[in-house]
């Protein structure tokens, strides 16, 4: 392994526009069959490094890069070199929805080959072959919106590697993936390395990607602060977790049950779905005052459909939903069972944080000061558009908005998606604080950290049925399905 060097870079500084350096003094090389992981907390410069070394930052985003980079013999920082980058790399970015440009898997994959000038018969053969290999052939003419999250992710892989590039670049491949999907990504990386390709992964959920003989660079404040190799020692894992990198096994901490009893939400014999299409049936669940309860399950199992039905966005196909012991219609639950979507941006309606709080205060009768007191970073971000806040800040703001409406139940859809360990722990603290004030949470998740550290009970939604599951069992299952064990780092 590691025979020819596929990627070699030494960046003295890089940034956006005329702005200051976001990253400084970063360098690395990667050979055939090698795996290099760039890890670090959110905002530490990992993605900027990726964009800088392949020439996107200075050629597309009006940024600047000082230093050198070579990708399989070309200089991607020059305009001519950047033209050749697509032949040498396959890039998979964080969110599949932002990456898929065509309506069907076939046209999505063929688009890459058309761009690179392949003849039509070769395009047809290669497209079908890669879709077959990634298990998407039966859906190659389906609309991409009809694919599950895992299938969309596989499609982004297919369209990135169909031309067989020597280098694969993955930016947070675990984002929006369930453990079943993460196992597929891990298998894909292993397979790709066996073929002699180099793989560069940018991640903060490090534990999924630090295996075999991976090399690791730890980023903090735009610099590489440590270089490590798999397997990691306990001390190294502790160091990584302290700076916000998810490197060790998930914890299962004792989450105190609510001090005050009383049922706030209950579903009896609930059947959920869309029209004729039943997603899950015979759902019985309950939520007591001050509880945080997880619902785990694969992407596409129906977790979001269940939350939306409980929130009143969808009518149940059958069964009852009781709020404070009384049967309710969907309309009666809207706003009382407050749904916070996976993409919190849907909740925002103004162009600055200050305005957002003013508008929320107008609707809820709370004061702006009261709302701001629940947002520790308010002063530094008051004039920023809610859509430009960091992912963790947007998530935080969405929960505060939900809380301000006085809803006794808040439903969180994948709240930890895209959060590093530090932000996750802050969010868990917020949920704990609100729980103590009597708010109940029902949380859809496939993140073992949410189950182990945020919730006091758990359900699993699998094959159209909801059942109770012990928290430890739930965490163990999620780890196992991702290809890890609870003991594994």
Partner 1 sequence: MRRPSTSILFIYGLTITLLAFIYRDPYSLLLISIPNAVAGIYLGYRRAKLIVLLLLLSIWGTFLNALFLANHGQVVAVIGPLVIRDGAVVATTQIGLRLLALASAALIFIGSAKPEEIIRDLEAELYLPKTITFSLAYALRLIPLLNRDYREIMFCRRQRGYRRIAYLPGDVKTLLLPLLSIAYQRAIWAGITVELRGFRKRRPRYRRPRIGLVEALLLSWLALQVVLPIAAGWTM
Interface positions with partner 1 (CB under 8 A): 54, 56, 60-61, 83, 85-87, 89, 91, 93, 95, 97-104, 107, 110-112, 114-117, 143, 145, 159-160, 308, 311, 313, 334-335, 338-339, 341, 343, 345-351, 360, 363, 385, 387, 401, 405
SS3 content of the chain, % helix, strand, coil (to 5): 40, 25, 35
Cα dihedral sign, 458-460-465-468: negative
DSSP state string for 107-161: HHHHHHHHHTT--HHHHHHHHHHHHHHTT-GGGTTS-GGGS-HHHHHHHHHHHHH
Instruction: Indicate the residue among 342 and 426 with the shorter CB distance to partner 1.
Output: 342
Instruction: Indicate the residue among 87 and 281 with the shorter CB distance to partner 1.
Output: 87
Please name the residue that has the structure tokens 């596989």.
154
| CB 429 to partner 1: min, Å | 24
Nearest of 373, 371, 425, 376 to residue 401 by alpha carbon:
371
Instruction: Indicate the residue among 41 and 76 with the shorter CB distance to partner 1.
Output: 76
Instruction: Indicate the residue among 282 and 345 with the shorter CB distance to partner 1.
Output: 345
| CB 76 to partner 1: min, Å | 10
Instruction: Indicate the residue among 27 and 364 with the shorter CB distance to partner 1.
Output: 364
Helices 149-161/120-133 angle, 10° precision: 140
Instruction: Indicate the residue among 70 and 449 with the shorter CB distance to partner 1.
Output: 70
The 8-class DSSP code of residue 80 comes to H
> Quick check: 60 and 67 in contact, CB under 8 A?
no
| CB 346 to partner 1: min, Å | 4
C-alpha to C-alpha distance for 2 and 6, rounded to whole angstroms: 9
| CB 314 to partner 1: min, Å | 9
Instruction: Indicate the residue among 170 and 255 with the shorter CB distance to partner 1.
Output: 170
Instruction: From residue 449, give the alpha-carbon distance in Å to each of 240, 249, 341, 427, 441.
Output: 16, 9, 19, 12, 16
C-alpha to C-alpha distance for 55 and 67, rounded to whole angstroms: 11
Nearest of 411, 424, 445 to residue 295 by alpha carbon:
445
| CB 280 to partner 1: min, Å | 20
| CB 144 to partner 1: min, Å | 8
| CB 74 to partner 1: min, Å | 13
């Amino acid at each position: 392994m590691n025979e020819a060097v596929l990627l070699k870079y030494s960046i003295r500084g890089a940034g956006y526009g005329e702005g200051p350096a976001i990253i400084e003094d970063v360098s690395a090389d990667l050979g055939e069959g090698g795996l290099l992981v760039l890890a670090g907390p959110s905002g530490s410069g990992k993605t900027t490094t990726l964009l800088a070394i392949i020439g996107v930052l200075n050629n597309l985003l009006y940024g600047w890069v000082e230093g050198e980079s070579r990708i399989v013999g070309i200089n991607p920082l020059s305009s001519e070199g950047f033209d050749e980058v697509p032949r040498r790399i396959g890039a998979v970015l964080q969110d599949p929805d932002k990456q898929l440009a065509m309506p069907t898997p076939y046209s999505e994959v063929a688009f890459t080959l058309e761009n690179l000038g392949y003849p039509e018969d070769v395009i047809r053969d290669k497209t079908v072959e890669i879709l077959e290999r990634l298990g998407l052939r039966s859906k190659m003419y389906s609309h991409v919106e009809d694919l599950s999250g895992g299938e969309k992710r596989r499609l982004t892989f297919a369209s990135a590697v169909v031309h067989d590039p020597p280098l694969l670049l993955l930016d947070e491949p675990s984002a929006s993936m369930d453990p079943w999907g993460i196992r597929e990504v891990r298998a894909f990386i292993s397979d790709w390395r066996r073929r002699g390709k180099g793989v560069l992964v940018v991640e903060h959920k490090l534990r999924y990607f630090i295996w075999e003989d991976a090399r690791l660079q730890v980023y903090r404040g735009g610099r590489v602060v440590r270089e490590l190799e798999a397997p990691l020692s306990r001390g190294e894992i502790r160091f990584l977790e302290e700076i916000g990198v998810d490197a060790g096994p998930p914890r299962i901490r004792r989450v105190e049950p609510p001090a005050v009893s009383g049922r706030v939400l209950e579903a009896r014999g609930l059947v959920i779905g869309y029209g004729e299409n039943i997603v899950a049936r015979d759902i019985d669940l309950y939520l007591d005052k001050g509880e945080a309860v997880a619902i785990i399950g694969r992407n596409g199992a129906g977790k979001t459909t269940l939350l939306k039905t409980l929130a009143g966005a969808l009518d149940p196909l059958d069964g009852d939903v009781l709020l404070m012991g009384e049967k309710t219609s969907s309309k009666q639950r809207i706003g009382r069972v407050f749904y916070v979507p996976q993409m919190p941006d849907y909740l925002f309606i103004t162009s600055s944080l200050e305005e957002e709080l003013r508008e929320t205060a107008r609707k809820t009768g709370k004061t702006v000061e009261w709302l701001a007191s629940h947002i520790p970073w308010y002063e530094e971000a008051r004039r920023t558009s809610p859509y430009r806040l960091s992912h963790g800040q947007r998530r935080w703001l969405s929960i505060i908005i939900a809380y301000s409406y006085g809803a006794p139940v808040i439903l969180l859809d994948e709240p930890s998606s895209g959060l590093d360990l530090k932000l996750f722990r802050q969010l868990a603290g917020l949920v704990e604080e609100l729980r103590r004030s009597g708010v109940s949470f029902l949380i859809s998740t496939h993140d073992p950290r949410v189950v182990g550290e945020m919730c006091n009970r758990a359900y699993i939604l699998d094959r159209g049925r909801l059942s109770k599951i012990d928290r430890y069992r739930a965490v163990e299952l999620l780890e196992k399905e991702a290809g890890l064990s609870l003991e594994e780092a």
